């Protein structure tokens, strides 16, 4: 390890299992002091258990690192505020926020009720916004006090939020919202020394065990486990370090040994007749535009 994050304090939400745990351990291995947040809920968000957060803290400490647990609900104002306060009380500073907490309640749209919609959007989207809002308020205060931070936020998006995913309307909408939030936060907070990016990982977790069941059944070539959540963490650590100062407002896909820079919505082909379109004219223009445009990326789980 290089000690890339020595002296930094990182908060990771949803860090008791899966990707969050891998991120917390990797940050600690690079010298960061870590606040490990996890409610310990089931894969659908039900229940709760403080054990996972404490287990990750114990593992970091056993390896010689520094960590404290936080078991509050980061999708509440009090939970998000106490998350930031925990970092400041325990370590005196906050440098990196990794928003990762989430769960799934997959349904086809016609079977998706409003409770499952609200629960998933709440944890993924509000659970990103509130920690970011409270961390940003702290960093802005630091900057105004003449102590400009080199702060980093790494949000967790998904391919579902970039191209859609059949059976995951609630999750895809929330993750698309995370990307929008990332872009706005990067634009607003840059003046305070804050860099904000997102990753769209593909890895084996409780949330994806059915999605990657076939891949997980295959032997790992050369001993490389392509679906291990630890494959995502090196990029998260780098984005959470001071080295990433020139990178903000970006979304990176991470899968196995591949890192992809996703390029977002931007103007494509256009037609302008200098006046209001007729209905027929608008339709004809759209057909022409589609004929000159690249086809959209296929929706996950959709027909080929």
165 as an active site residue: the answer is no
Catalytic one of 158, 165, 233, 241: 158
**Nearest one of 111, 227, 88 to 167, comparing CA atoms:** 111
144 as an active site residue: the answer is no
φ, ψ at 283 (rounded to 5°): -65, -40
**Nearest one of 14, 199, 219 to 124, comparing CA atoms:** 14
Cβ density class 23-32: b for 16+ within 10 Å, e for less:
bbbbbbbbbb
Question: Which residues are registered as beta bridge partners of 253?
Answer: 200, 260
Catalytic one of 175, 233, 241, 244: 175
Measure CA of the first residue to CA of the last residue in the chain; give whole Å.
Answer: 43
Catalytic one of 82, 165, 171, 233: 171
**Nearest one of 274, 278, 258, 249 to 185, comparing CA atoms:** 249
46 as an active site residue: the answer is no
CA angle 132, 136, 142 (to 5 degrees): 155
How many angstroms separate the CA atoms of 266 and 271, rounded? 15
- What residues are labeled active site? 158, 171, 175
């Amino acid at each position: 390890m290089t000690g890339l994050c020595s002296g930094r304090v990182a908060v990771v939400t949803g860090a008791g299992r899966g990707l969050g745990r891998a991120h917390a351990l990797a940050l600690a291995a690079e010298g960061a002091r870590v606040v490990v947040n996890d409610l310990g809920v089931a894969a659908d968000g039900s229940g709760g258990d403080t054990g996972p957060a404490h287990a990750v803290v114990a593992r970091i400490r056993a390896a010689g690192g520094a960590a404290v647990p936080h078991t509050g609900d980061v999708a509440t104002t009090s939970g998000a505020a106490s998350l930031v306060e925990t970092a400041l009380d325990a370590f005196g500073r906050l440098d990196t926020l990794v928003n990762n907490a989430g769960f799934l309640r997959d349904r086809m749209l016609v079977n998706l009720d409003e409770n499952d919609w609200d629960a998933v959007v709440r944890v993924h989207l509000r659970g990103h916004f509130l920690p970011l809002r409270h961390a940003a308020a702290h960093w802005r205060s630091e900057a105004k006090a003449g102590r400009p931070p080199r702060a980093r936020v790494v949000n967790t998006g998904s391919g579902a939020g970039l191209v859609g995913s059949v059976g995951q309307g609630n999750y895809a909408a929330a993750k698309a919202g995370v990307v929008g939030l990332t872009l706005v936060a990067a634009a607003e907070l840059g003046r305070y020394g804050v860099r904000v990016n997102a990753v769209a990982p593909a890895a084996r977790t409780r949330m994806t065990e059915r999605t990657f069941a076939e891949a997980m059944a295959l032997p790992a070539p050369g001993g490389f486990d392509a679906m291990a959540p630890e494959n995502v963490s090196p990029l998260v650590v780098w984005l959470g370090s001071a080295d990433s100062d020139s990178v903000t407002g970006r979304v990176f896909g991470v899968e196995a040994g591949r890192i992809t820079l996703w390029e977002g919505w931007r103007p494509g082909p256009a037609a302008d007749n200098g006046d209001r379109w007729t209905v027929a004219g608008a339709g004809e223009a759209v057909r022409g535009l589609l004929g000159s445009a690249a086809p959209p990326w296929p929706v996950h789980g959709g027909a080929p």
